[in-house]
Amino acid sequence: MRKVLLSDLDGTLLDLKSYSFAQSADSVRALKRKEIPIVFCSSKSRVEQEYYREAMGISDPFIVENGSAIFIPKGYFTKRIPYNTYVIDDYEVITIGKPVGYIRDVIRQTRNFLGLSFVCYFDLCAEEVSMYTGLDLKSSRRAMEREFSETILRGSINQSFLDFLEKKNLRNIPGSKFQTIISNKADKGKAVDVLLSLYQNEWGEVKSYGVGDSINDFEMLQTVDDPYLVQRPGNQWADLNDVAIKNIHGIGPEGWNKVSRIMLES
């Protein structure tokens, strides 16, 4: 039976503070030698994920912006993809969410109407994003290239704002640092389910593993066969209240490495 790994990035495969994958690099290479796909499933944008895919030599499909779209390298699957797709660069894309232009228009209109003063990516230059996020300038520019979501970096929102989002078929995802606005039809679990169906169509029976670190990974972890939750700084696990999700000791990449060993040894 073939295996597939679905993984969050920040605080999971990547160190939460430095965004480095140095600690997990050996495990990535070991999984690649066994031809186990490593599928990123993250809030990060396409260009952000492309940076890490290139750095790690990963060529598998990836899920962007909290399940808003699936990017599949052309020719990756030999069988026809039974979903509506379109082509961007070297990818076949399955879209679940809404385009960022629509989301930004709703945010601008609603923010002005309610007199709110929160700040998003589109309000700032790369230097300002770097100041708020701690990212370097190049990473800040990549983070700003959203296609299906927008991030609130500073300031507060209220229930009236959330109610307006709901009327426009959008929702807010609270994160550990920032808040993200996406389509209410998009979530990581839906995107994972679609992508796993493509692997099953290609290979037959597949066993899926998932690794995350936060409530934002809940839908993804509910969808896979074997879900794992790594520890966050302070040696704590996010409270997901699901007995099927296994808490694994190790903060971020340390826990991620343990899950990769479980996959390799099973």
pLDDT for the residue 246: 97
pLDDT for the residue 187: 92
- Pull the structure tokens for residue 173: 């995802």
- Pull the structure tokens for residue 242: 């699901």
- Give the whole-angstrom CA distance, residue 210 versus residue 250: 15
Dihedral angle sign, alpha carbons of residues 237, 240, 242, 245 = negative
Domain 2-97+186-265 fold:
Rossmann fold (3.40.50)
Residues paired with 63 in a beta bridge:
41, 70
* Active site (catalytic) residues: 8
- Give the whole-angstrom CA distance, residue 164 versus residue 105: 12
Domain 100-183 CATH (choose: 3.30.980.20, 3.40.50.720, 2.160.10.10, 3.40.50.150): 3.30.980.20
pLDDT in tens, the chain (266 residues): 999 999 999 999 999 888 899 999 999 999 999 999 999 999 999 999 999 999 999 999 999 999 999 999 999 999 999 999 999 999 999 999 999 999 999 999 999 999 999 999 999 999 999 998 888 999 999 999 999 999 999 998 999 999 999 999 999 998 767 889 999 999 999 999 999 999 999 999 999 999 999 999 999 999 999 999 999 999 999 998 888 999 999 999 999 999 999 999 98
pLDDT for the residue 176: 65
| Amino acid of residue 166 | E
Place of tokens 């503070």: 17
The domains spanning 2-97+186-265 and 100-183 adopt the same CATH topology: no
- Give the whole-angstrom CA distance, residue 207 versus residue 214: 22
Provide the whole-model pTM.
0.95
- Give the whole-angstrom CA distance, residue 72 versus residue 150: 23
Which sequence spans correspond to the domains of the chain?
Answer: 2-97+186-265, 100-183
The DSSP call for residue 70 is E
- Pull the structure tokens for residue 40: 């990123």
